[in-house]
Amino acid sequence: MALAGTRSAGQATLALAIALFLGVFLVVPVATVVYVAFTEKGGGGLTLVNFLDFARTDLFVRSFWNSVYVSAMTVVWASALALPLAYLTTRFEFRGAMLVQTLGFLPLVMPPFVGAVAMQLLFGRNGSVNLLLDEWLGIKIGFMEGLNGVIFLQAIHYFPFILVNLSAALRNIDRAMEEAAQNLGSHGLRLFRRIALPLALPGFIAGASLVFVKVFDDVATPLLLNVKEMLAPQAYLRITSIGIDDPMGYVISVVLIGVAVATMWASALVLKGKDYATTQRGGGGLARRKLKPRESALAYAVVILILTLVLAPHVGLLLLSFATVWSYSPLPDGYTLAHYARVLGDSSGYIKNTLLYSSLAAGIDVVIGGAIAYLVLRTKLPGRQWLDWAASTALAVPGVVLGIGYLRAFYGVKMPDGTPLAALWIVIVLAIAIRRLPYALRAAYAALQQISVSLEEAAENLGATKARTVRRIVIPLMTGGLLAGFVTSFATAAVELSAVLILVQSNSDAPLAYGLYVLMQTPAGRGAGAALGVIAVVLVAICMGLAQLAADRSQRARGLDI
Amino acid sequence: MSKPVRAVGIEIAGVNLSYGTTHVLKNVDLSVRPGELFAFLGPSGCGKTTLLRLIAGFAQAETGRVLLDGRDVAPLPPWKRDVGMVFQSYALWPHMTVAKNVAFGLEERRLPRAEIDRRVAEALDLVGLSDYAGRRPAQLSGGQQQRVAVARTIAIEPKVLLLDEPLSNLDAKMRVSVRRELRALQQRLGLTTIFVTHDQEEANTICDRIAVMDAGTVRQVGTPMELYENPANLFVASFLGSANILGDGDGIPVPAGKRLVFRPQHATLSSIDGVPLRGPVTHREFLGATVRYNVQVGGSEILVETPFQSGGELRTVGDMVGVALPPERMLYLPA
Ligand SMILES: Nc1ncnc2c1ncn2[C@@H]1O[C@H](COP(=O)(O)OP(=O)(O)O)[C@@H](O)[C@H]1O
Ligand SMILES: [Mg+2]
- In this predicted structure, the answer to whether residue A53 has a pLDDT above a threshold of 80 is yes
Domains and CATH numbers, chain B: 10-237 (3.40.50.300), 243-334 (2.40.50.140)
Q: How far is B237 from chain A (nearest CA, A)?
A: 31
Residue A421 per-residue DSSP state: G
CA nearest ligand 1 atom 5, residue: B19
Which regions of chain B are under pLDDT 70? 1-5
Q: Which helix (H) or strand (E) holds A250?
A: helix A247-271
Compute the average pLDDT of residues A541-555: 75
Q: What is the pLDDT of residue A1?
A: 40
- Given a contact cutoff of 8 angstroms between Cβ atoms, the answer to whether A85 and A74 are in contact is no
Confidence of residue A62 (pLDDT cuts 50, 70, 90): very high
- Inter-chain residue contact B104 with A187, CB threshold 8 Å: no
Q: By the CB < 8 Å criterion, does B77 face chain A?
A: yes
Q: How far is A309 from chain B (nearest CA, A)?
A: 35
Q: What is the pLDDT of residue A408?
A: 87
| ipTM of predicted assembly, 2 dp | 0.85
Q: What is the pLDDT of residue A2?
A: 44
Cα within 13 Å of Cα(B157), Cβ side: 14
* C-alpha of residue B52 to centroid of ligand 1, in Å: 11
More confident residue, A417 or B104: B104
Instruction: Identify from A178, A183, A270 which residue to disrupt to test chain B contact, counting B C-beta atoms within 10 A and taking the largest count.
Output: A183
- Given a contact cutoff of 8 angstroms between Cβ atoms, the answer to whether A224 and A117 are in contact is yes
Domains A7-40+356-510 and A67-229+289-336 share a fold: yes
Q: How many CB atoms lie within 10 A of CB A329?
A: 14
- Distance between the two ends of chain A, CA-based, in angstroms? 32
Q: Residue B271's Cα: distance from chain center in Å? A: 40
Q: What is the pLDDT of residue B116?
A: 93
* C-alpha of residue B16 to centroid of ligand 1, in Å: 14
Query: Chain A: which residues have CB within 8 Å of chain B?
Result: 174, 176-177, 179-187, 190, 194-195, 198-199, 201, 274, 276, 278, 281, 287
Q: What percent of chain A has pLDDT over 70?
A: 92
Q: How many CB atoms lie within 10 A of CB A87?
A: 20
Q: What is the pLDDT of residue B64?
A: 92
Chains A and B form CB pairs within 8 A to the count of: 71
Tens digit of each residue's pLDDT (9 = 90 or more) over A266-295: 988 888 777 665 554 444 455 677 778 888
CATH number of A7-40+356-510: 1.10.3720.10
Instruction: Identify from B24, B44, B60, B95 which residue to disrupt to test chain A contact, counting A C-beta atoms within 10 A and taking the largest count.
Output: B95
Name the closest ligand to CA B43: 1
Which atom of ligand 1 is closest in space to residue B165's alpha carbon? 21
Q: Does B49 sit in the ligand 1 pocket, CB within 6 Å? A: yes
Residue A283 per-residue DSSP state: S
Count the helices and strands in chain A (H runs, E runs): 28, 2
Q: How far is B62 from chain A (nearest CA, A)?
A: 17
Report H helices in chain B. Answer: 48-56, 98-108, 113-126, 142-154, 172-189, 200-206, 224-229, 234-239
Q: Which of B58, B88, B105 sits opposite A184 (nearest CB)?
A: B105
- Given a contact cutoff of 8 angstroms between Cβ atoms, the answer to whether B243 and B228 are in contact is no
- Given a contact cutoff of 8 angstroms between Cβ atoms, the answer to whether B103 and B154 are in contact is no
Q: Tell me, yes or no, if the pTM score tops 0.90.
A: no
Q: Does B234 sit in the ligand 1 pocket, CB within 6 Å? A: no
CATH 2.30.30.90 fits A67-229+289-336, yes or no: no
Judging contacts by C-beta atoms under 8 Å, the chain A residues touching residue B89 are 174, 176, 281
Judging contacts by C-beta atoms under 8 Å, the chain A residues touching residue B152 are 180, 184
CA pair distance A425, A432, nearest whole angstrom: 11
- Given a contact cutoff of 8 angstroms between Cβ atoms, the answer to whether A198 and A254 are in contact is no
Give residue B135's identity as a one-letter amino acid code. R
Q: Which helix (H) or strand (E) holds B67?
A: strand B63-68
Judging contacts by C-beta atoms under 8 Å, the chain B residues touching residue A189 are none
Collapse the DSSP code of A143 into the 3-class scheme (helix H, G, I; strand E, B; otherwise coil) and give the result: coil
The domain locations on chain A are: 7-40+356-510, 67-229+289-336
Q: How many CB atoms lie within 10 A of CB B253?
A: 9
Cα within 13 Å of Cα(A191), Cβ side: 21
Instruction: Identify from A175, A184, A292 which residue to disrupt to test chain B contact, counting B C-beta atoms within 10 A and taking the largest count.
Output: A184
Q: Residue A340's Cα: distance from chain center in Å? A: 27
Tens digit of each residue's pLDDT (9 = 90 or more) over A91-116: 888 777 777 777 767 766 788 888 88
- Given a contact cutoff of 8 angstroms between Cβ atoms, the answer to whether B259 and B247 are in contact is yes
Tens digit of each residue's pLDDT (9 = 90 or more) over A346-358: 778 888 888 899 9
Q: What is the pLDDT of residue A183?
A: 92
Residues 6+ apart with CB under 8 A from B276: B251, B252
Q: What percent of chain A has pLDDT over 90?
A: 22
Helices A58-91 and A231-242, packing angle to 10 deg: 140
CA pair distance A108, B277, nearest whole angstrom: 80
CA pair distance B54, A381, nearest whole angstrom: 57
CA pair distance A233, A216, nearest whole angstrom: 10
Q: Does B332 sit in the ligand 1 pocket, CB within 6 Å? A: no
Tens digit of each residue's pLDDT (9 = 90 or more) over B54-67: 999 998 889 999 99
* C-alpha of residue B244 to centroid of ligand 2, in Å: 29
Residues 6+ apart with CB under 8 A from A509: A353, A425, A428
Confidence of residue A488 (pLDDT cuts 50, 70, 90): confident
Report H helices in B195-305. Answer: 200-206, 224-229, 234-239
Q: Which helix (H) or strand (E) holds A481?
A: helix A475-494
Compute the average pLDDT of residues A355-379: 90
Residue of A nearest to B55 (CA): A183
More confident residue, B12 or A345: B12
In degrees, to the nearest 5, what angle opens at C-alpha B92 toward C-alphas B89 and B96?
Answer: 160
